Structures are given as structure tokens and as C-alpha cells.
Amino acid sequence: MNEQIIILPLLLHLVFSISLMFFWTNIKAQKVLSITGSFLAMCASIWVFIYVWDNGIQTFQAGNWEAPFGITFVGDTLASILVLLTGITGFAVSIFAAVSVIKARLRFGFYSVFHFLLMGLNGAFLTGDMFNLYVWFEIIIISSFVLISLGGEKNQLEGAVKYFTLNFLASMIFLTGLGVLYGLTGTLNMADLSQKIPLVNNQALVDVTAFLFLVGFGIKSAVFPLYFWLPASYHTPPSAVSAIFSGLLTKVGVYALIRVFTLIFVNDSFIEIMLQSLAILTIFSGGIGAIIQKNIRKVFSYLIICHIGFMIGGLGLFTEVAMAGAIFYLIHDIVVKTNLFLVSGLIYRLKSTTSLDRLGGIYKSYPKLSLLMAIPLFSLVGIPPLSGFWPKLSLLLAGFNEGNYWYFGAVIFGSLLTLIAIAHVWAKAFWEDGKEIKKSKKFIEFNQLRKYQKMQYVAPIVFLAIVSLYIGFGAEHIQQVSLRIANEVFDKQAYFDAVFK
């Protein structure tokens, strides 16, 4: 074996996605296969991460074509940790989906598309070619369109139309940027571009291209002016689907922004100011949106936007400390946001609603589960030993040292708004005495479920809670990883040398 193991998780998802198609009608077999598949992919991604951590950046050329002509796959530490997180969240969600997604959806190939989506995510993280990145993006969004509209309920279809339109528009803007980039440099290999972009005569056009990429990825990662599709669509599909969307889909946009603006368009002061101001506006609008919502899933949707701002701002500061903070936040956010939507699915199963006006008394009737659900909620807020605290500390420090007090204030304000929103959820849903909720007859109560089904509801949340506790208590390790990633991300030459061996 050699450097090719970096695409092992990708290939595993592909193989399982195809083999799931052969069990189109047999739902039981699909569940077993999918959970096995995502478990294997998780193990493979752990292996990939360890391999990359020990041996440095791994690259290989698909089709054995030399570097600038063929498609390069690059596994650096940033890519491999994201592959690892994809594996972890994918495993948790596939267990959760087995029990929470209704049969009618599973019968239309839910699992097959789900694995296809995970394959696309892995590919997007690992590719070293701009056009290939576009292709993986399209694989991701086409599978997410199917997942978001599976079931065909009224609000689901509406959300899907909005989600589809803006994501398609973002892809088109991204593709426009690609076309201009190719016209300027004659190459699409990221490592090659990093060397050729500074040599282009027409730097004004380079700025325009950078802005096209900023807009395209900005829409996909729900950055300030164009985030409206996210709260309109993320609460409509089943919780398992929203969990994987909220954990990973918007973060692919953030990953692409980090990659593009540290490798290809660097030292662009306009983009820096743009990123910082967008970050501040995103934090404000997301946070304020979160505190006025009355549906748990919508509160979480707005919090996604708010916290995207933290990461974008960390990227916009362009220092190593800030970048390490942003990466740390990314790692924490993927795990915790996925877990939050799983929690919202569990709350729905407990009480048959996710509306804060009607919820209540969960702590009284399910004290142990409430404590479990408290872990992701308060990790998100960043109560000191939990995982959200440490990256915010780095981001605040970076903002303060850079003298960027607007960002500094925005992070504090955003954290405060997060605290208010989560405290609101906690008080309304868990502590306050609830009214009796009318449940439809078809609704199956949590207590009526069989024991293994209850396990399937709780186990993924426990699993992700343990991971986020580790991120909190073992923050030293994660900080080490983030610092190394921040180092690597700013070292363009090492990336170039790894691709052009």
C-alpha cells in the first residue's frame, strides 16, 4: 500500500452506494449494509488520518497523468481531518437514520444516495484540482437535492425549490470563476495555480475571479447576504438528513474558502476586508435570527449561520493563530452541529413536535436523556471545559492581537446570542412544565419503541457527545492538530512540492 489509501474511504462509500442499489426493496439488508459500510469507512478514515499525520502530505495522480494535466488527489492534514470527521458523523447519522427515517423514504434509495453524498464530501476534501472540486460539489448537491426532497411533503418541496435554486446559482458562479481562471492561467491544478496566479499581468481580473469564488462558495456556506436558503430548507427534511447537511454541507463551502484563499488568491487586501466584514455581518444576522425563532430546528439553522461567521472571520484575519482557531472551530462545529440535529430528532420522537411553544417538561420525564442532550447544547455555547470554548479563545486572542476589535466584539456578541438562544431552548423545552400535546394516532411514542430501536436513537448521540467531550477535554491535542494545519495551509511551497514531486 502507498499514498493511494487516502481515497480508501471514498472508494468504500462508492462500493457501498452501488451495492445498496441492488437491495432496492430489502430495507433490512440496506440498514445493515449501510451501517457496516459507514463503520468501515470510519475505520478507513482513521487510518488515513494517522497515515497522513505520520508521513506528511500524500498525493497521487489519477489515471497516472503527470501533475498539471491529470487530476491530482492531495491528502494534507486539513483534508484528512475533514475526511475523518466525515467518517465519524456519517457513521453516527447512518445509525440514527436506520430508526428515524420512515420506510417510505428508505424505499426510494435513501441510503444509496446518502453514501453517494458522503463519497462526494470525501472527494471534495481530497481533490487538488479546481474543476474536479466543481464536479465533487455537483455530486454533493445533486445527492443533497434528492435527500432533501425525498418524501415529497409540502414544506419539504418548497424548501427544496429554494435550496436548489440558490445552490445551482452558486455552482454557476463558481463555474464562471473557473472559466476565467482557466483563461488567465491555462491550468486548473491548485498547486500549479498557486504558482501561476502571481505571474498574471492582469491582476484586476484576478481580483474579480477571486470575488466570483467568494460569492460562489459564500452562497454554499451560507455567508451573510445570501444565507436565506438555509433556514428555509434545513428544517424540512428528516432530522438525520438535516444532521448531515448542517454538519458537513455548509462546511464544505468553508473548506473551499480556506483552500482557495490560502493557496490561490493570497495577499489580497480587498478579499481580507471583505471576508472580515462578511463574517461580522453573518455573526450578527445569524445570532439575531436564532433568538427570535420558535422552532428548535430553526434556532439551530440560524446558529449554523452565526457560527459560519466565526470561521470565515478567522480565515479573514490571515494569521496562524486565527487560522488555527478557525480550524479548531470547524472541527468542533462539525461534530456538535450534527449532534444538535440528532438531538432535535430525538426531541421530536419524545414529544412529537419541535415547536418551543408546545414543548416542555422533558427534564421531568426523561432526566437522563436530558443530561445527555445538554452536552451538545452547552458544547455549542462554549461553557469552559466543553469543546466550544477553546477555539473561541483562539479566535478572540487573534482578533485582539490583530487590533480587529469589530471582529473581537462580534465573536463575543455571537457567543452571547448563542448562549441566549440555547438557554431559551433549554428553559422552554426542558425545564418549563409542558402542556399536554395532542399526538396523532400514527405517532409512535419513544417508550413504545423496542429496546434496540431506543439504542439506535441514543447511541449516535452518545457517540458524538463523547467525541465532542474529547475535543473539549483533550483540547491540547486538537490545538496541536489545528496549529499544524494552520502551518501547512500557509506553506504554499510545501503543497506545491508535494504535488510536483
Q: Which positions touch another protein (CB under 8 A)?
A: 2, 4, 7, 11, 14-15, 18, 21-22, 60-64, 131, 135, 138, 141-142, 145-146, 149, 152-155, 157-162, 164-165, 168-169, 171-172, 175-176, 178-180, 182-183, 188, 232-233, 235-236, 293-295, 298, 355, 357
Q: Minimum Å distance from CB 4 to another protein?
A: 6
Half-sphere exposure of 71 (CA within 13 A, CB side): 14
Please identify, using beta-carbon distances, which residue of 134 and 310 lies nearer to another protein.
134
Q: Minimum Å distance from CB 413 to another protein?
A: 25
Please identify, using beta-carbon distances, which residue of 77 and 156 lies nearer to another protein.
156
Strand partners, 74: 59
Q: Minimum Å distance from CB 73 to another protein?
A: 8
Q: Is 172 exposed, middle or buried (0-12, 13-18, 19+ CB in 10 A)?
A: exposed
Q: Minimum Å distance from CB 159 to another protein?
A: 5
Cα(79)–Cα(213) distance, integer angstroms: 19
Q: Minimum Å distance from CB 277 to another protein?
A: 25
Please identify, using beta-carbon distances, which residue of 294 and 454 lies nearer to another protein.
294
Q: Minimum Å distance from CB 149 to another protein?
A: 6
Cα(346)–Cα(149) distance, integer angstroms: 21
Please identify, using beta-carbon distances, which residue of 17 and 456 lies nearer to another protein.
17
**Phi, psi for residue 379 in degrees, rounded to 5:** -65, -40
> What count of other Cβ atoms lies within 10 Å of the Cβ of residue 108?
13
Label the pairing between strands 58-62 and 71-75: antiparallel
**Phi, psi for residue 128 in degrees, rounded to 5:** -120, 25
- Of the candidates 468, 322, 495, the one whose C-alpha atom is nearest the C-alpha of residue 392 is 322
Query: Under 8 Å CB-to-CB from 169, ≥6 apart: which residues?
Result: 219
> What count of other Cβ atoms lies within 10 Å of the Cβ of residue 445?
11
Strand partners, 60: 73
Q: Minimum Å distance from CB 184 to another protein?
A: 8
> What count of other Cβ atoms lies within 10 Å of the Cβ of residue 436?
7
Taking phi first (over 0 means left), then psi (-120 to 50 degrees means alpha), and beta for anything else, what does residue 139 get? alpha
Taking phi first (over 0 means left), then psi (-120 to 50 degrees means alpha), and beta for anything else, what does residue 64 get? left
Cα(467)–Cα(461) distance, integer angstroms: 10
Cα(171)–Cα(127) distance, integer angstroms: 17
Strand, coil or helix: 295: strand
Q: Minimum Å distance from CB 138 to another protein?
A: 5
Please identify, using beta-carbon distances, which residue of 174 and 463 lies nearer to another protein.
174
Q: Minimum Å distance from CB 473 to another protein?
A: 37
Please identify, using beta-carbon distances, which residue of 295 and 487 lies nearer to another protein.
295
Q: Minimum Å distance from CB 94 to another protein?
A: 20
Cα(253)–Cα(223) distance, integer angstroms: 10
Please identify, using beta-carbon distances, which residue of 204 and 368 lies nearer to another protein.
204
All cell numbers assigned to 61: 495522480
Please identify, using beta-carbon distances, which residue of 181 and 386 lies nearer to another protein.
181
Please identify, using beta-carbon distances, which residue of 57 and 141 lies nearer to another protein.
141
Amino acid at 247: G
Please identify, using beta-carbon distances, which residue of 155 and 480 lies nearer to another protein.
155
All cell numbers assigned to 282: 453573518
